[in-house]
Structure 1
Amino acid sequence: MELTEEERRSIEWDCTRLVSLYATLNDEGRWAEVAALYAEDGVMTRPTAPDVPIEGRAAVLASFEGRPPRVTRHICSNIVIDVEDADHASGASVMLLFTAFGPPLVGNFDDRFVRTGEGWRFAERRGSLTFAPS
């Protein structure tokens, strides 16, 4: 079934909001809410560890809870969402991370989104660094 322009834009908006909400909740240390943005079987790879997938919502939550406290600010930009069908989309974004512990990091996220009973969620969030720290 072909999507209307309004349906396509709605999906694009929902997925864009998910990317922004991820950064906001991450900066606020609201780990359970960050993990809830993933599908139950969602997969995350951090930009600083792109070859180490973290599989499942519970494991994503544990990975965030296991990190030492820190103050961060994530800036998201260049978010482009491609709607595949009524229940699947993919996207890419650029992330700039500021911390008190070192120089800013610039990276990318390649995302796959899925519509669930809870709404749109990350099926996969794959991070990578564009400029590696020296």
Structure 2
Amino acid sequence: MSADLTPEAVRAIEHDCAKLVARYANHNDAADWEAVVALYAKDGRMARPSAPDDWIEGREAILAAFTARAARTTRHVCSNVEITVLDADTAIGESAMLLFTGESVPKVGSFEDRFVRTVEGWKFAERRGLMTF
């Protein structure tokens, strides 16, 4: 971490990035795809937990990927959110995820995130999902 950041600045970055994790889950469960995509940097990329090595890059492609999915009711529960501030403009994080769909047994996974400060505020530069079981 950069030595020029105060403890208060680090906590603010951690808070802002953790809030993105929660917003992502809430917007995803509401099927508000525009709001989900707005959480990404313009050149951000994502990989779903079901395909962690299949990157979808850019807001337009991410929106297309979400809108192409069949409608479903979900509830994502994210916990164990840990953010590591690298410097004033970048951070990384990880979180655990429990997905309820009502159609099958709950799925357990995690996310590995890279965050970047943009002119729009903190955004996901990269969000990679992983399935545990």
| Structure with greater strand share of residues | 1
Over the aligned positions, Cα root-mean-square deviation in angstroms equals 0.7
Q: For residues 22-42 of structure 1, what are the alpha-carbon distances to aligned partners after superposition, in whole Å with 9 as ceiling and x for unaligned?
A: 000000000001001000110
2:51 aligned counterpart, secondary structure: coil
- The structure 1 residue matched to 2:132, chosen from 115, 130, 133, is 130
TM-score (norm 1): 0.96
Whole-angstrom CA distance in 1 between matches of 2:45 and 2:20: 15
Whole-angstrom CA distance in 2 between matches of 1:7 and 1:62: 35
TM-score (norm 2): 0.97
Whole-angstrom CA distance in 1 between matches of 2:49 and 2:29: 16
Q: CA deviation at 1:51?
A: 1.6
Show structure 1 runs of 4+ deviating over 3 A.
none
Q: For residues 5-62 of structure 1, what are the alpha-carbon distances to aligned partners after superposition, in whole Å with 9 as ceiling and x for unaligned?
A: 0000000000000000000000000000100100011010000111211001111111
Whole-angstrom CA distance in 1 between matches of 2:60 and 2:118: 17
Whole-angstrom CA distance in 2 between matches of 1:49 and 1:104: 17
Could you list the runs of 5+ residues in structure 1 that have no partner in the other structure?
A: none
* Aligned residues between the structures: 131
1:103 aligned counterpart, secondary structure: coil
1:102 aligned counterpart, secondary structure: coil
Q: Which residue of 1 aligns with 2:47?
A: 45
Identity, in percent, stands at: 60
Q: CA deviation at 1:101?
A: 1.8
Could you list the runs of 5+ residues in structure 2 that have no partner in the other structure?
A: none
